Chain A
Amino acid sequence: MITHLKNGRLYCPVMGADGVIQDIYIRDGKIIAKPNASEKISQTYDLTGKIVMAGAIDMHSHIGGGKVNIARMMLPEFQETKNYSEPEAHICTPNCSHHATPNTADTGFRYIEMGYTAAFEPAILPINARQAHLEMADTPMIDKGGYAMLGNDDYFLRLLSRKADQKAINDYVAWTLHATQAIGIKVVNPGGISAFKFNQRRLNLDENHSYYQVSPRQILKSLSTAVQQLGIAKPLHVHCNNLGAAGNFQTTLDTMGASDGVPMHLTHIQFHSYGTEGDKKFSSAAAQISEALNKNKHITADVGQILFGQTVTASGDSMMQHLNTKFASPKKTVIMDIECDAGCGVVPFKYRDENYVNALQWAIGLEIFLSVEDPWRIFLTTDHPNGAPFTSYPHLIRLLMDKSFRNEAFAKLNLDAQAMSNLTSLNREYSLYEIAIMTRAGAAKLIGLNDRGSLSAGAAADITIYTDQPDREAMFAKPDYVFKDGELVVKNGVVVKVVWGKTHTAKPEFDIGVEQDLTQYFDKYHTIQLDNFKISNDEIASDGRGGVITHTQSN
């Protein structure tokens, strides 16, 4: 059975197709080369005038696991804001949903309706990975996967403080990927989550953890090296120290040098690009950060754009979120120390355009988007739900693609914030090709998804088809068709078939001997058995709905 997508205009950076009219053929869930004339075409879609891209991939979105569920549990009032007809901020259009804590079904449906076919949970606590996978298993329509958090767990910090050799670190990192069924490794506030448990309240890049006497820089070096040496495609995912603090841009710049040229990905970099200039001692350092990103080719970043309205911030960074509790709106927060493994902080936020800091945060994110030259190294995220719910992506895409729309929005911001931003002097408008890089080809390449983010023969047939509209928000909010693994699942923005997607993982080789030491450690200090820590493929398969895809790695 072959499906023929005819006459579409393709934007596929993998193929170098920048608006090329070309046909696509699908068989058994894959894109295939043009079949022989003798082969039967069972279905043809005439896509004349339509825009065709691979399914979009969200490389950083908090869609499952403990802190997301705590956010849902803590905020029943958010579940009632499903009627978007009254946007909370006047520069947010009706499609700009403020539904920050969707349930698992809602998550899958809202993603696929926008043409997203995969999303990656960026902060899986290894000890809590089973919950993350249970939730992702209940998330329909899209593929998923996640990054396991290391660098604040006592096992790793003990290794580092006793100067264990890099091989021991590598084995532990690889073992963790296997045990948690993750595809990448993340570090959040390197050393800081653990230091908070020892009553340290801030930790700078070259400051020592008071108990282990190791610095965040050492942690970054050790973990990024492990990721590289193991051949894990996804560079170490780094949430820098000093999240959200005025003046933190220097930490971010210094962090770029912490790995000595080994690839790292700095996540939600907007939250780490703040200076201390001006009367309010809070300013944009987007220019410095963007310049450094342009220069440091080993660094990639996603933005973590904020958009105005009610949301909730759910982070592993218990240290910095504890400092943020005073900004909570509504006034409630959860801060947790978790299992000598990590922590979390859940703080609801309402970003207001009339608020100086919030308005500048909005501008800083966009300044970074527009100042970073290489779209293969910058990614479109709102750090869902921390900067805004993922449902606001179409709105964000319009802000990037439409300068006059952006400038109109800017003109409504807090006036002091306007005075502190150079946003209107940035004339760049993203092209469809660049959007396809950021949200498809680049994301797949970054994560190491060998068969996604592409329309070329051999790729999985995750395909999104839009009507070309000048209003890019309307266009990206409601695709005409979405195919998931070759099946038509969305028609005219409405789900027509429910599918469940797979879980993407990476499983580099390692020395299983690491389990000897880990078993002793678990028996002595932990409260569960090592065997129960590990998640099997069968658990992910969950009644036959899900399944594991393991991507072979780069070396």
Chain B
Amino acid sequence: MEISSNTQQDNKKVVATCPACGLLCDDMSLEIKQSGIKVLNTNCTKSIQFFEQPLGETTPKINGESVTLQQAISHAVTLLKSSKNPLFAGLSSDVQGFRAVYSLAQKTNGHLQHLNSESMARNMAVLQSTGWQTTTLTEVKNRADVLMCIGTDIVSHNTRFFERFIWLSQDSSAMFTDSSKREVIYIGENLNTQAGVSPDGKQPTSINCSQSDLPEILAVLRALIAGKKLKMQTVAGVQVSGLLAIADKLKQAKYAVLAWIAKDLDYAHAELTIQTITETVALLNSQTSRAAGLSLGGSDGDTSANNANTWLSGFSLNDDKFDHDAMVWTNSFSANKLPGKTDFPLIVLGNANTTFEQIPDVFIPIATPGLDCVGTSFRVDSAVILPLKKVRENKLLTLSEVVTQIEALL
């Protein structure tokens, strides 16, 4: 497991876990050379971008000028001391990183806001209103005979979803269903349905509709599953007969999986669409077959942050907007996701490759878990929590190390 001692050698191969999306693929085969890392076993662009990113600038900066770490930390402390209510935003990290930021926020009367707070809140609204009946990736792999992708192609967020959990590779197999015979159904706006074509060429069922018509169409689908007789022929331009065929497939499935990605349901009150999906699952389970919901996506460490915040504080993360007079942006993973423009002092603890539109008052480059340091991350289904490895030599401090130093001086 400990590979850091080997990274000096050229062409060392390791198997690592990729935190670039919520799937946390832990079968990543990496070739580690002096010149950099190469991903050997997948074309997943998210993984390649993650592992093959160069080791960035390691020097901390104050107003864009290079300084020592101690100077940067000391300036961050000064800014935090003069702040009454700092906002800790971004929060893209692993469990250990989040835990450190949580503690600092407690100490400074700060609020927390994850960069995916808006989409996360859609799911939390449903969980806190009605709950849900869901499943996890290994169950999907071994059991699902019908998969319905609602408002999402899934692969834009979770590249290897179909390869790893639906169609499967040669070495992999499903215990309770013939994976090549799975039924895939798409419903949504101009979705790329290519990944849903079975290995022997069977096309998925696809219903094209505007995302904003999903609430109406899904409500009709639920009514049909409930056995309601409808007089209309079409709903939002979609043939009711087509929906009836889908309703039958879902009812006849041994294990139907209804998948959504909250980020792709990006319209007002999209939580009600998610609720219609989860209530449809509950309805199917109250009839004569089994079904389960599956919330996918899960990027930027959002599942880790939400879980850790929940056990530490008792509350899930939310998307409340907070008055603040300083911002601390933390992002261990991504060089591209930046804080919105702010007129207040800005402290960034971020990926070493970050390039800014607004020069922060303080920038401290930090290690990326899974690449520059070890860590722990939650998979999107929250059931599986995996260790992340350090796969390259570097001198970057972890988010938790930097935050602990800041907290000690407050």
Residues in A lying within 8 Å of B, measured CB to CB: 64, 66, 68-70, 72-76, 79, 101-106, 125, 127-128, 130-131, 134-135, 138, 154, 196-199, 211, 322, 325, 328, 331-341, 346, 523-529, 531-532, 536, 539
Contacts and interface: CB of A to CB of B under 8 A. Distances in A.
B158 to A, nearest CB: 12
A527 B384 contact: yes
B255 interface: yes
B15 to A, nearest CB: 7
B171 interface: yes
B128 A532 contact: no
Contacts of A337: 134-136, 139, 143, 292
Interface of B: 1, 15, 17, 24, 26-27, 95, 99, 124, 127-139, 141-143, 164-165, 171-176, 254-255, 282, 285, 288-290, 292, 306-308, 310-316, 376, 378, 382-387
Contacts of A211: 176
A340 B175 contact: yes
Most chain B CB within a 10 A radius of its CB, from A64, A199, A331, A338: A338
A259 B289 CA distance: 33
A337 B294 CA distance: 11
Contacts of B137: 339, 527
Given A334-B134, A524-B172, A340 B310 contact: no
B123 to A, nearest CB: 10
A528 to B, nearest CB: 5
Nearest to B134: A336
Given A334-B133, A335-B133, A531-B1, A73 B127 contact: yes
A128 B385 contact: yes
A66 B382 contact: yes
A332 B133 contact: no
Given A72-B314, A524-B172, A532-B26, A339 B130 contact: no
24 contacts: A66-B382, A66-B383, A68-B311, A105-B312, A128-B383, A130-B376, A130-B385, A131-B378, A138-B312, A198-B254, A331-B130, A334-B134, A335-B131, A337-B139, A338-B139, A340-B138, A341-B138, A524-B172, A525-B141, A525-B172, A527-B137, A528-B24, A528-B386, A531-B1
Most chain B CB within a 10 A radius of its CB, from A66, A322, A536: A66
Contact of A134 (B139, B282, B285, B376): B376
A64 B307 CA distance: 12
Given A101-B314, A197-B290, A339 B131 contact: no
B27 A529 contact: yes
B285 to A, nearest CB: 7
Contact of B307 (A69, A106, A333): A69
A539 B387 CA distance: 9
Nearest to B174: A525
Contact of B310 (A72, A524, A526, A528): A72
B312 A103 contact: yes
Contacts of A125: 383
A199 B142 contact: no
Given A76-B316, A199-B289, A532-B26, 15 more contacts: A64-B311, A66-B382, A70-B127, A72-B310, A106-B314, A125-B383, A138-B312, A199-B254, A340-B142, A524-B172, A525-B142, A529-B27, A532-B386, A532-B387, A539-B387
A527 B141 contact: yes
A62 to B, nearest CB: 12
Contact of A103 (B171, B172, B314): B314
A138 B310 CA distance: 12
A305 B106 CA distance: 36
A73 B124 contact: yes
A127 B384 contact: yes
Contacts of B386: 130, 528, 532
Nearest to B15: A529
Nearest to B386: A532
Contacts of B172: 523-525
Contact of B128 (A74, A322, A325): A74
Contact of B384 (A79, A106, A138, A528): A528
B28 to A, nearest CB: 10
B316 A104 contact: no
A346 B127 CA distance: 11
A339 B383 contact: yes
A522 B246 CA distance: 33
B19 to A, nearest CB: 13
A214 to B, nearest CB: 15
Nearest to B382: A66
A346 B99 CA distance: 25
Nearest to B318: A76
